[in-house]
Structure 1
Amino acid sequence: MAWQKLKNFYDRNFGLFLVFLAQTCGSVMNTAAKLLATGYEVKFHALHIIFVRMLSTTILGTLYMWYHNVPDFPLGQRGIRWLLILRGTAGFIGIFGLYYSLSWLEISDATVITFIIPTMTAVVCFLWLREPFTSKEALAGLLALAGVLFVARPTWLFPKPSVDTDPSQAVDDLASSTLTFLADIPKAQAPTNHVSPSQRTLAIFIAIIGTLGASTAYAAIRVIGKRAHSLISVNYFAGIATIGSTLIILIHPDLHFVIPQDLGQWGLVAVIGLTGFLLQFLLTEGLQREKAGRATNLLYLQLVFTLIIERVIWGTTPPVESLIGAALIISASIWVSLQKNEKVPEKSKAGVDEESRLLDGEEE
């Protein structure tokens, strides 16, 4: 009897356990990315990290689909390839926004901004797919925007009286940061302690552009539906991100490929490659076994993980403004997810990947 109860508990919660492992992998991956970007003399740019992670995902995903004879491997059905390309390109923009913001923001702030994806997706689906956009979703969007302002802490809203700076210099800093953001990398071990308001504002802006890209990718996944295997969709994302990051690194005059300088950096590179693939795989498997509501709520554990990691590794605690912003954004995200669940209680599942992990748990 006890064994049967244990087995029933295992069967009921195995999907949740896989989602928990996926979020653990996501937190470890983001921590490794931040350490590579800020923790060494030879620093990795966001594009270097994307190249490492997505090349690994492309290779492992291709080998997996080849071994298991996935239908329509490798390019998918001819009629939906343009959607797969759109999905991959938008996903690349989304992942760049995340990794660039990690170079300048606390991990918790960069993570919580991704939680506006459900609200952003509702807007994208309204504009592109003509799906209903309710007044409640619009109100949730305003709530999320207020949360972003608390996280961003712009000087016009949260002035810092102790800082004695020339306003014209601040404008120059913002212009310089905007013109060179592709090549910008922090200059200190704990960059968030030395980031200017203009640099922080730019990082927040790039992060929001990233959420728009992620939302567009998710909308494309909705249109693709079950016409493509989820790993084909993931491979388009990883392949386009690999090619895109490579081309920008080769073309941009201030960027070049870097080689890890010691075992520590090699280890972080390996961790990013492995945990990035495991994140995709475990999340897909977990959401296929679990109800959307339970799984989606568990996804917010990543914020808890990042707060613990920040305290243990960097010895920092987010300010009250960031915690208020996180509460507002998460509340808006849960509200939008509940609205989606009310409108569409049960439907065919589409592919799941990192960009759609914070939505309503739809999968293939």
Structure 2
Amino acid sequence: MQYGAIKPAMDAAGVQQDAPRSPSKVADNADAGPEAAGLGQQPHDAADADGDKQRRGGVRGRLSAFYERNIGLFFVFLAQTFGSIMSTAAKLLTSGGPNRFHALHIIFVRMAVTAVLGFLYMWHQRVPDFPFGGRDIRGLLLLRGLAGFVGLFGLYYSLTFLDFADSTVISFLIPILTAIVCYVWLREPYTIREALAGLIALAGVLLVARPPFLFPRVAAGSTKAASDGVGSFVVDHPHGLVPTPPASPAQRGFAVLCGVMGTFAAAVAYTTIRVIGKRAHSLVSVNYFASVATVGSALIILVHPDLKFVLPQGAMQWTLLTIIGITGFMLQFLLTEGLKREKAGRATNMIYIQMVFALVVERVIWGTTPPPLSLIGAALIIGAAIWLSLQKNHPPVAQQKPVADEESSLLGSQGVGSLRA
């Protein structure tokens, strides 16, 4: 036994009990207050504060990541919204009664605004080889501008006699026709799948156009309906803001032909952009497009016996022309910003929302609903374009930021990627 040591008591089960605490020590701890009692809790409080900061930082980080991940997609969505507004204003001007505008008038106004703004921007930014580009590629740049001008004319002219939704869906032929042009010009591979997609899209175009030699009953019915002011649509005028302009089967067929011609020209313009590559700044290419379209439309208006420069009649036409100028520039700007930040596949999928906009606009403004044949044709064209874009999977490379236009917005992953090259 050791002296001076207190042997701890044992309970009945033989478990050693703690030695009794001194009352004075208990009182000292109680009198010390929360400072002494909280010494062991300070690390826990600090940990809780750090946890709150991390949670707040985590929320901000997730919001920031969500913004960075989707802002490009949002810009593409806004671009398509402005594009639909611009096309709606163009159709209202080209089919709005005796004082209606010709497609060339609209091209002149819209592209003149784009050319002036593009010229000023390139001058301010001191873009290389401004404004004509390098001597060795000026011919290609001129071809790009001419093809873009023809493509834009085909789109706007088709709006004169075609329904808004049908004119929109024809533009989705661009990636399919681009594959053919690249095969002929650049000797790129043209696969069986691409050929099959082209045939499917062609069937869709025939369903949209409904030529009389293939659909005689539909043509006869649409002619009779046109005499009643209905056209080839199921119309409910009380729910529309503007009456639908009638169009004969011949006018409708010619408008479809112009639309297809426009998509082919747009495919040529895109292929020319690929041939030019990095030898010219993208803004120089876009400005060639705008300048050639402005000069070309002005010359045709001057020499054509049935056309002349006209001033808008009334506040409505002035407003529509202003909308076309502003929305055309916003389409160009937002599409460029969106494709800078977004992957090609997601951007392409967002572009097909144009069809939804077109159907809504048709119903709200003209009070019309596409017939079943047009809806089936639209499904075939869009399905073929999506299927073709899914086949174009190229490995990512370090690329230049693009400046987009209407053609590139419909070219799928191949088109966007190539524009960046």
TM-score scaled by length of structure 2: 0.78
- Equivalent residues of 1:48, 1:257 under 8 A apart: yes
Partner of 1:19: 76
Partner of 2:187: 130
Whole-angstrom distance in 1 between the partners of 2:260 and 2:97: 27
1:257 is the counterpart of 2:309? yes
Deviations, residues 312-345 of structure 1 (Å, cap 9, x unaligned): 111111111111111100111112112222xx23
Partner of 1:66: 123
1:219 is the counterpart of 2:219? no
The structure 2 residue matched to 1:283, chosen from 310, 319, 335, is 335
Q: What is the letter of the counterpart of residue 29 of structure 1?
A: M
Whole-angstrom distance in 2 between the partners of 1:262 and 1:356: 35
- Equivalent residues of 2:243, 2:366 under 8 A apart: no
Q: What is the letter of the counterpart of residue 322 of structure 1?
A: S
1:234 is the counterpart of 2:286? yes
- Equivalent residues of 2:210, 2:218 under 8 A apart: no
- Equivalent residues of 2:104, 2:301 under 8 A apart: yes
The 1:218–1:154 alpha-carbon spacing in structure 2 relative to 1, beyond 3 Å, is same
Partner of 2:390: 338
Partner of 1:173: none
Q: What is the letter of the counterpart of residue 109 of structure 1?
A: D
Whole-angstrom distance in 2 between the partners of 1:61 and 1:327: 36
Deviation of 1:189 after TM superposition, in Å, equals: 4.8
The structure 1 residue matched to 2:213, chosen from 156, 168, 175, is 156
The structure 1 residue matched to 2:358, chosen from 306, 309, 316, is 306
Q: What is the letter of the counterpart of residue 124 of structure 1?
A: V
Deviation of 1:299 after TM superposition, in Å, equals: 0.3
Partner of 1:94: 151
Deviation of 1:163 after TM superposition, in Å, equals: 3.5
Whole-angstrom distance in 2 between the partners of 1:165 and 1:21: 36
1:45 is the counterpart of 2:102? yes
Q: Give the number of equivalent residue pairs.
A: 339
Deviation of 1:161 after TM superposition, in Å, equals: 6.6
Partner of 1:81: 138
Deviates more, 1:278-287 or 1:14-23: 278-287
Deviation of 1:4 after TM superposition, in Å, equals: 1.7
Deviations, residues 239-271 of structure 1 (Å, cap 9, x unaligned): 000111011100010001110011111111011
Deviation of 1:351 after TM superposition, in Å, equals: 4.6
Deviation of 1:41 after TM superposition, in Å, equals: 3.2
Alignment gaps of 5+ in structure 2: 1-57, 224-241
Deviation of 1:39 after TM superposition, in Å, equals: 2.1
- Equivalent residues of 1:48, 1:245 under 8 A apart: yes
Partner of 1:293: 345
- Equivalent residues of 2:112, 2:291 under 8 A apart: yes
TM-score scaled by length of structure 1: 0.90
Deviation of 1:156 after TM superposition, in Å, equals: 2.3
Higher RCO (CA 8 Å, separation ≥ 6 residues): 1
The structure 1 residue matched to 2:67, chosen from 10, 15, 36, is 10
The SS at the match of 1:160 is helix
1:244 is the counterpart of 2:274? no
Partner of 2:51: none
Deviations, residues 279-312 of structure 1 (Å, cap 9, x unaligned): 1111111111111100001000111111111111
Whole-angstrom distance in 1 between the partners of 2:386 and 2:340: 20
Partner of 2:35: none
Partner of 1:146: 203
Alignment gaps of 5+ in structure 1: 167-187
Deviation of 1:66 after TM superposition, in Å, equals: 1.1
Structure with max Cα Rg: 2
Whole-angstrom distance in 2 between the partners of 1:226 and 1:144: 32
Query: Percent identity among equivalent residues?
Result: 63
Q: What is the letter of the counterpart of residue 298 of structure 1?
A: M
The SS at the match of 1:41 is coil
The SS at the match of 2:309 is coil
The 1:34–1:164 alpha-carbon spacing in structure 2 relative to 1, beyond 3 Å, is closer
The 1:259–1:328 alpha-carbon spacing in structure 2 relative to 1, beyond 3 Å, is same
1:165-244, aligned counterparts within 5 Å? 189-191=243-245, 194-244=246-296
Whole-angstrom distance in 2 between the partners of 1:230 and 1:71: 10
Partner of 2:239: none
The 1:158–1:9 alpha-carbon spacing in structure 2 relative to 1, beyond 3 Å, is same
Partner of 1:329: 381
Whole-angstrom distance in 1 between the partners of 2:219 and 2:250: 17
Whole-angstrom distance in 2 between the partners of 1:229 and 1:282: 18
Q: What is the letter of the counterpart of residue 244 of structure 2?
A: A
Q: What is the letter of the counterpart of residue 251 of structure 1?
A: V
Deviation of 1:354 after TM superposition, in Å, equals: 0.8
The SS at the match of 1:74 is coil
Task: Could you list the structure 1 runs, at least 4 aligned residues long, displaced by more than 3 angstroms after superposition.
Answer: 161-166, 347-351
Q: What is the letter of the counterpart of residue 175 of structure 2?
A: P
Whole-angstrom distance in 2 between the partners of 1:345 and 1:308: 37
- Equivalent residues of 1:225, 1:351 under 8 A apart: no
Whole-angstrom distance in 1 between the partners of 2:362 and 2:220: 25
- Equivalent residues of 1:38, 1:189 under 8 A apart: no
Deviates more, 1:277-286 or 1:153-162: 153-162
The 1:345–1:235 alpha-carbon spacing in structure 2 relative to 1, beyond 3 Å, is same
Q: What is the letter of the counterpart of residue 214 of structure 2?
A: L
Q: What is the letter of the counterpart of residue 179 of structure 2?
A: A
The 1:11–1:41 alpha-carbon spacing in structure 2 relative to 1, beyond 3 Å, is same
The 1:11–1:147 alpha-carbon spacing in structure 2 relative to 1, beyond 3 Å, is same
Whole-angstrom distance in 1 between the partners of 2:212 and 2:103: 26
- Equivalent residues of 1:141, 1:332 under 8 A apart: yes
